[in-house]
């Protein structure tokens, strides 16, 4: 449900294995990502960077040593992409059981068997940082470490790259007259179910807020516009969105995200505008690393 505690999740995704090249060479990269604006000066902003540059997470249930290892591996994917901890002040640390978190400032992790995940974006305030995650293989990218790295991206403050306005509307003023992606809503696994429930399918296939209210998986695919502050306002944009699009971002879905099967074959839900397949990404891109370094720059002495 989209609200002040906006959540996003990796919908049930069939495994699609492919080799996806990524680059960690960000010396010549422009910022190509969609993330919390670290310069946002609105004290009431719903989405913020973590105030101490440290994401401390805890278990809402019993401790799970296998998940601790998985979290370490997922965090290492980010460390490798960032270029080492000297390049950023961001840290991820284990904080025990949430029952002992009296300040309610930790990322509260709940393990599930739902073949899905859901994580709050950035730091949102006391008691508002949550993650539910299924550590099993067989969904998402097919790689639990990559799935968790994607969710960590949300926790750090990153939104889905494919939900940017640029992806859905293009940029006619800069030589991009068409959208970057095509969306086949009828191919979502829960499309027929929502239709039987009497939902307005045209509405929830085109409006992200309506989809979230209907608990329809399109909520994690449709455009989320960045609302600018009123003219003359001293406030800054809540999210940074550049003019470039990052096809290699770990925050982007593959073509079969949340897809249904027809005749035993998964149907494409999203694809590039030229009908090219969007393959699963299993490592943060160089531009993802730039986003982290921008939100959490190195401390200076």
Q: CA 149, CA 75: separation in Å to the nearest integer?
A: 7
Q: To which H or E segment does residue 195 belong?
A: helix 191-196
Instruction: Please name the residue that has the structure tokens 């600018």.
Output: 228
Question: What pLDDT is recorded for position 26?
Answer: 27
Does residue 265 carry a pLDDT above 90? yes
Q: What single DSSP character describes residue 255? A: T
Q: Is 60 exposed, middle or buried (0-12, 13-18, 19+ CB in 10 A)?
A: middle
Question: What pLDDT is recorded for position 176?
Answer: 83
Correct CATH for 31-37+45-225+244-295 of 3.40.50.150, 3.30.70.360, 3.90.1560.10, 3.40.390.10 = 3.40.390.10
- How far is C-alpha 98 from the chain's CA centre? 23
Instruction: Please name the residue that has the structure tokens 């190195």.
Output: 298
Please state which of the ranges 9-23, 109-123, 169-183 shows the lowest mean pLDDT: 9-23
Does residue 11 carry a pLDDT above 50? no
**Confidence band (pLDDT; 50, 70, 90) for 180?**
very high
Does residue 25 carry a pLDDT above 60? no
Query: What's the mean pLDDT in 257-281?
Result: 95
Residue with the bigger pLDDT between 161 and 15: it is: 161
Question: What pLDDT is recorded for position 41?
Answer: 59
Query: What's the mean pLDDT in 139-167?
Result: 94
What pTM was estimated for this model as a whole? 0.85
Q: What is the pLDDT of residues 41-86, one digit of tens each?
A: 567 777 889 999 999 999 999 999 999 999 999 999 999 999 877 7
Question: What pLDDT is recorded for position 140?
Answer: 87
Residue with the bigger pLDDT between 32 and 147: it is: 147
Q: What are the boundaries of each domain within the chain?
A: 31-37+45-225+244-295
Please state which of the ranges 5-19, 101-115, 229-243, 287-301 shows the lowest mean pLDDT: 5-19
Q: Considering the chain, what percentage of its residues have pLDDT values greater than 70? A: 81
The vertex-297 CA angle with 120 and 284, nearest 5°, equals 55
**Confidence band (pLDDT; 50, 70, 90) for 22?**
very low
Q: Hey, is 140 helix, strand or coil?
A: coil
Alpha-carbon distances of 9 from 53, 117, 164, rounded to whole Å: 23, 5, 16
**Confidence band (pLDDT; 50, 70, 90) for 276?**
very high
Does residue 30 carry a pLDDT above 60? no
Q: CA 290, CA 32: separation in Å to the nearest integer?
A: 8
Residue 192 contacts by C-beta under 8 Å, 6 or more apart in sequence?
Answer: 260
Question: What pLDDT is recorded for position 241?
Answer: 67
């Amino acid at each position: 449900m989209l609200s002040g505690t906006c959540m996003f999740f990796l919908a049930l995704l069939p495994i699609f294995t492919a080799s996806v090249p990524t680059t960690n060479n960000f010396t010549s990269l422009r910022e190509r990502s969609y993330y919390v604006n670290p310069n946002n000066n609105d004290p009431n902003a719903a989405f913020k960077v973590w105030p101490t540059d440290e994401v401390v997470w805890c278990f809402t249930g019993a401790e799970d040593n296998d998940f601790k290892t998985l979290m370490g591996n997922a965090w290492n994917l980010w460390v490798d992409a960032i270029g080492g901890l000297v390049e950023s002040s961001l840290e991820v640390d284990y904080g025990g059981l949430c029952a002992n978190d009296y300040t309610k400032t930790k990322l509260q992790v709940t393990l599930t068997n739902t073949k899905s995940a859901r994580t709050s974006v950035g730091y949102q305030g006391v008691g508002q940082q949550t993650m539910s995650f299924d550590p099993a293989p067989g969904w998402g990218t097919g790689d639990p470490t990559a799935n968790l790295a994607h969710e960590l991206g949300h926790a750090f403050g990153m939104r889905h790259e494919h939900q940017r306005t640029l992806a859905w509307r293009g940029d006619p003023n800069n030589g991009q007259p068409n959208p970057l992606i095509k969306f086949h809503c009828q191919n979502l696994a829960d499309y027929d179910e929502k239709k039987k429930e009497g939902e307005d399918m045209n509405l929830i296939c085109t409006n992200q807020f309506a989809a979230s209210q209907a608990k329809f998986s399109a909520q994690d695919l449709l455009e989320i516009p960045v609302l600018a502050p009123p003219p003359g306002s001293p406030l800054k944009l809540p999210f940074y969105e550049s003019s470039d699009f990052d096809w290699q971002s770990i925050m982007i879905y593959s073509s079969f995200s949340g897809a249904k099967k027809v005749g035993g074959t998964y149907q494409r839900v999203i694809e590039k505008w030229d009908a090219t397949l969007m393959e699963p990404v299993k490592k943060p891109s160089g531009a993802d690393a730039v986003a982290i370094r921008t939100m959490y720059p190195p401390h200076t002495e």
